[in-house]
Amino acid sequence: MCGIALGVWHHEDTQPHDAWASVISQIQRRGRDAYHSVECAQDGTRWELHASVLCLRGKELTPQPITSQDGHLHLAWNGQIFSSEHEDDPLLDMERNDGAIIMTRLEEHADQIPDVLVSTLSAVDGPYAFVLVDTRNACIYYGRDPLGRRSLLHTTTQGAWHLASVSGAAWKAHWKEVDCDALWQVTRGQAPVRIPRRTSRFVLRAPCDDAPDHAALVPDLQAVLSESVRQRVQKTRHARIGLLFSGGLDCTVLAALAAQHHAGPIDLINVSFENPRAIAAAWAVAEAPVKHDTFPADPYAVPDRVTARESYAQLAQLYPTHTFRLVQVNVPYAEYVSCLDTVQMLMSPQASVMDLSIAAALFFASRGEGYVDGVPYKTDARILLSGLGADELLAGYARHRQAWRRGGYDALTKELQLDLDRIPTRNLGRDDRVLSSHNREVRYPYLARKVVAYLASLPVQSKAYFELDELGDKYLLRCLATHLGLTYAAQLPKRAIQFGTRSAKMDAAGAHAKGTAQAFAP
């Protein structure tokens, strides 16, 4: 993983914006193993390309930007390739740096760069964002993976144009996410031109008439999801594994599968906020006596903390030879307030109340400072697994049940198709900016191409079965959890991170604010 920043000034004597230094500072925080930059001035235009590196693959650290042997190509590659359509694809060799392999291909076909980029990136699965500068032809190529799992922002200011993984503090330019439905090319300062991808959208299968046999489908889901987890936890370079852990269904299944493929300890990172509004409301209706280890006597005994402890205990029982560490991250209200400016800068250009409450939880989870068995502890995990994607693919949101009630499984299928199509435009870029700020990389096993393809091939009744009861959402995943022995997590209802951690509506002033309301000016 790396941080990327490109500045292009259309007049050589134009000075960088005062906040450009803060962008570079944030880029360096994303990858602390190495940091380099290259710059060039030609035909009256000056540019700088900066990259930091968090090294997670390859026998040796490969500094970035990567420069071709003839000095004309400069690549900043923020990606991880986990699978390919070609079994012998060198990009699957975890002993080699994937960015260096891509540069070799570009050097071999320097007159066909758009074709090389499209053919290479269309054949592989994994998160990426990149910037490639071709000084010989005065071209800049850039893009993100089709799901937008790696952040890349762009902005235009007077006499300048910028690309960056994250914006900097006090930067008033209007940053936007780079669209990830195509790759992009800029030639000699002209407007960006689309380079179409060869990958097609996933189309969900229509509902079926027959009742599904969920038990028969569990082995297939286990196989494809287990392989996705294996690809994301094995053969990592000096990297420990952490998991964003609420104790809920999605993340607990990932924890169990990770234990089957990763021999080292796994840090289960659980976040809890001291929420003055929720604490005051709970005391107002509390009946004595209130146990010291329950909410609100213990301000951190929030819903996600309770479920995390229970699921952790069951994991430890099921995998007695494996080391799980429940990292309990407690966030005092004063500390939350002191970090607000940083969180807002990282999540920008997203700026809603809901975005802020989610970003705050992810920020402190990624920081990873908490307690294990009452002893202060800071995780050294460089890789964080996330359960994001399970709700979109397996009908985990309340609106999915509402769609079913409104129009049956046909309406539910349409709603899920909308969710699948919207994943690239949702909040993966925001999450990457926040989680990567502490020198860590987040990985999403549920969003692996083969997992998405498998679930898209099933009729919706095979994934959700709302006739049963309130636990009919993500029913196939619940069956897998039960099969794995995770009986506690299999019975838990869906709960959003901002409510489970109590990061939402932290004070009386925000008690009635809608999630879609703007929390601050980006």
Name all domains of the chain by residue range, CATH numbers in brackets.
Answer: 3-196 (3.60.20.10), 234-501 (3.40.50.620)
H-run or E-run covering 497: helix 497-500
Q: How many residues does the chain have?
A: 522
| Helix, strand, coil percent values for the chain (each to nearest 5) | 40, 20, 40
> Is residue 166 predicted with pLDDT exceeding 90?
yes
Extended beta strands in 178-265, E state: 183-187, 193-195, 240-244
Copy the structure tokens of residue 371. Answer: 């307690």
User: Mind listing the pLDDT tens digit for each residue in 447-484?
Assistant: 999 999 999 999 999 999 998 878 899 999 999 999 99
Is 98 part of any known ligand binding site? yes
> Is residue 518 predicted with pLDDT exceeding 90?
no
User: Mind listing the pLDDT tens digit for each residue in 292-321?
Assistant: 899 999 999 999 999 999 999 999 999 999
**18-27, 331-340, 356-365: lowest mean pLDDT where?**
18-27
Copy the structure tokens of residue 21. Answer: 């230094």
β pairing state of 381-385 and 240-244: parallel
Is 386 part of any known ligand binding site? yes
> Is residue 178 predicted with pLDDT exceeding 90?
yes
pLDDT at 172: 63
- Closest by alpha carbon to 162, among 196, 131, 195, 128? 131
3-state secondary structure of 37: strand
User: Mind listing the pLDDT tens digit for each residue in 351-377?
Assistant: 899 999 999 999 999 999 999 999 999
Mean pLDDT of the 169-184 span: 86
pLDDT at 208: 87
55 is catalytic: no
> Is residue 171 predicted with pLDDT exceeding 90?
no
pLDDT at 188: 85
* 8 Å CB contact between 133 and 163: no
Is 244 part of any known ligand binding site? yes
- Closest by alpha carbon to 471, among 487, 486, 493? 493
> Is residue 333 predicted with pLDDT exceeding 70?
yes
Mean pLDDT of the 78-88 span: 93
Mean pLDDT of the chain: 93
Mean pLDDT of the 80-94 span: 91
Share of the chain above pLDDT 90, in %: 79
The total of other beta-carbon atoms located within 10 Å of residue 12's CB is: 11
User: Cβ contacts of residue 413 below 8 Å, gap of 6+?
Assistant: 204, 206, 207, 460
220-to-97, 215, 295, 360, 451 alpha-carbon distances in Å = 32, 10, 41, 36, 10
pLDDT at 284: 92
**What's CA 518's distance to the chain center, in Å?**
22
Distance CA 232, CA 262 (A): 10
User: Mind listing the pLDDT tens digit for each residue in 111-159?
Assistant: 999 999 999 999 999 999 999 999 999 999 999 999 999 999 999 887 8
The confidence band for 250, taking pLDDT boundaries of 50, 70 and 90, is very high
User: Mind listing the pLDDT tens digit for each residue in 23-81?
Assistant: 999 999 999 999 999 999 888 889 999 999 999 988 889 999 999 999 999 999 999 99
Mean pLDDT of the 88-95 span: 89
Among residues 2, 180, 251, 479, the one annotated as catalytic is: 2
pLDDT at 231: 95
H-helix segments, 368-474:
390-394, 398-422, 428-435, 449-456
> Is residue 1 predicted with pLDDT exceeding 80?
no
Mean pLDDT of the 209-218 span: 89
